Amino acid sequence: MKVLVLFSFYLSLESFYGSVLTSSLHYESIFNFGDSLSDTGNFLLSGALAFPVIAKLPYGETFFRHATGRCSDGRLVVDFIAEAYGLPHLPPYLALTKGKNFQHGVNFAVAGATALDSEFFSQRHLGAILWTNNSLSVQLGWFKKLKSSLCTTKQECDNYFKKSLFIVGEIGGNDYNYPFFVGGSIKQLRNSVPLVVGAITKATSALIEEGAVELLVPGNLPIGCSSVYLTLFKSPNKSDYDQRNGCLKAHNAFSKYHNNQLKKGLQTLRQKYPHANIIYADYYHAAMPFFHSPKRYGFYSGTLRACCGGGGPYNFNNSARCGHIGSKACQNPSSYANWDGIHLTEAAYRVIAMGLVKGPYASPPLKSVPLSLV
Catalytic residue among 104, 251, 258, 343: 343
Active-site residue, 363 included: no
- By beta-carbon proximity to ligand NAG, the closer residue of 130 and 266 is 130
Query: Residue from 317, 335, 338, 345 that binds ligand NAG (CB under 6 A)?
Result: 317
Q: Kindly report the CA angle at 110 between 357 and 38, in degrees rounded to 5?
A: 15
Query: Residue from 14, 210, 240, 242 that binds ligand NAG (CB under 6 A)?
Result: 240
CA separation for the pair 299, 127 (Å, rounded)? 37
Active-site residue, 340 included: yes
Instruction: Give me the sign of the Cα torsion angle 326, 327, 328, 330.
Output: positive
Binding window for ligand NAG (CB under 6 A); candidates: 93-101, 199-207, 268-276, 307-315: 307-315
CA separation for the pair 105, 164 (Å, rounded)? 8
Query: Does 239 help bind ligand NAG (rule: CB under 6 A)?
Result: yes
How many chain residues bind ligand NAG (CB under 6 A)? 15
CA separation for the pair 128, 54 (Å, rounded)? 21
Catalytic residue among 29, 35, 36, 72: 36
Work out how close the CB of 240 gets to ligand NAG at its nearest, in angstroms, rounded to a whole number. Answer: 5
Work out how close the CB of 305 gets to ligand NAG at its nearest, in angstroms, rounded to a whole number. Answer: 13
Query: Does 12 help bind ligand NAG (rule: CB under 6 A)?
Result: no
Binding window for ligand NAG (CB under 6 A); candidates: 13-21, 127-135, 266-274, 345-353: 127-135
**CA end-to-end distance (rounded Å), the chain:** 16
Work out how close the CB of 301 gets to ligand NAG at its nearest, in angstroms, rounded to a whole number. Answer: 17
Work out how close the CB of 309 gets to ligand NAG at its nearest, in angstroms, rounded to a whole number. Answer: 9
- By beta-carbon proximity to ligand NAG, the closer residue of 118 and 220 is 118
Name residues whose C-beta falls within 8 Å of residue 346's C-beta, 6 or more positions apart in sequence: 62, 63, 72, 73, 74, 75, 76, 333, 334
Residues 287 and 222: beta-carbon distance below 8 Å? yes
Q: Kindly report the CA angle at 359 between 353 and 361, in degrees rounded to 5?
A: 75
Work out how close the CB of 48 gets to ligand NAG at its nearest, in angstroms, rounded to a whole number. Answer: 5
Q: Kindly report the CA angle at 68 between 133 and 171, in degrees rounded to 5?
A: 40
Rg of the chain over all Cα atoms, to the nearest angstrom:
20
In one-letter notation, the amino acid at residue 32 is: N
CA separation for the pair 336, 196 (Å, rounded)? 30
Binding interface with ligand NAG (CB under 6 A): 48, 118, 130, 132-133, 237, 239-240, 310-312, 317, 319-320, 326
